Amino acid sequence: MFFFKNSASANYEKIFYDLNIESISGEIINFGDFKDKVVLVVNTASYCGFTKQYEDLQDLWDKYNKKGLIVLGVPSNSFNQEKKKNSEVKEFCEVNFNITFPLSAITEVKGNNAHELFKWAKSNHGSSAVPKWNFHKILINKEGKIEDTYSSFTKPLSNKIVNKIESIL
């Protein structure tokens, strides 16, 4: 008996550390650099009611980065609430929230055109990993596996998220 892989299934066999994403400044962010780190991936938007969560994400970064937490903001216009240019998003985040954690380029997070990170998340964790709205959160443990996902309504500094981060750092 022979089994053939098609190119569509090949992407889903990748592990988290095989993936990468373009940064907001145009460089490549290699997730292989995040080995032995905890990663909180958050799809973000500039014109959303949840945009103030940037403040809490920066606080998480400030408090836990030296302990091994990576906060990765993924600006997205998948819900039609993001600026059109990476430079505009970068300036918005720096001026309004003093963001110093990594940001990707504007990225699709759902549907057929979703970035491979979000396709990987869906294939490894099911539909709960697919952003339903902006500021959806995916927590990835030190082994590169999805530990948990959180809706837009779960604030980054909530006990639920902070306790989980502290338990896996």
**Would residue 128 count as lying in a domain?**
yes
Which residues have a catalytic role annotated?
48
Q: Which domain holds residue 32?
A: 21-168
**Would residue 112 count as lying in a domain?**
yes
**Would residue 7 count as lying in a domain?**
no
How does pLDDT run across 154-166, given as a tens digit for each residue? 999 999 999 999 9
Arithmetic mean of pLDDT, 132-150: 97
Q: What is the CATH number of the domain that holds 120?
A: 3.40.30.10
How does pLDDT run across 75-91, given as a tens digit for each residue? 999 999 999 999 999 99
**Would residue 108 count as lying in a domain?**
yes
* Model pLDDT, residue 12: 55
Picking from 13, 55, 28, 16, the residue whose alpha carbon sits closest to that of residue 157 is 55
Picking from 21, 13, 33, the residue whose alpha carbon sits closest to that of residue 120 is 13
Find the helix or strand (DSSP H, E) in which 89 lies: helix 86-97
* Model pLDDT, residue 7: 39
**Would residue 10 count as lying in a domain?**
no
pTM summary value: 0.92
> What is the number of domains present in the chain?
1
**Would residue 9 count as lying in a domain?**
no
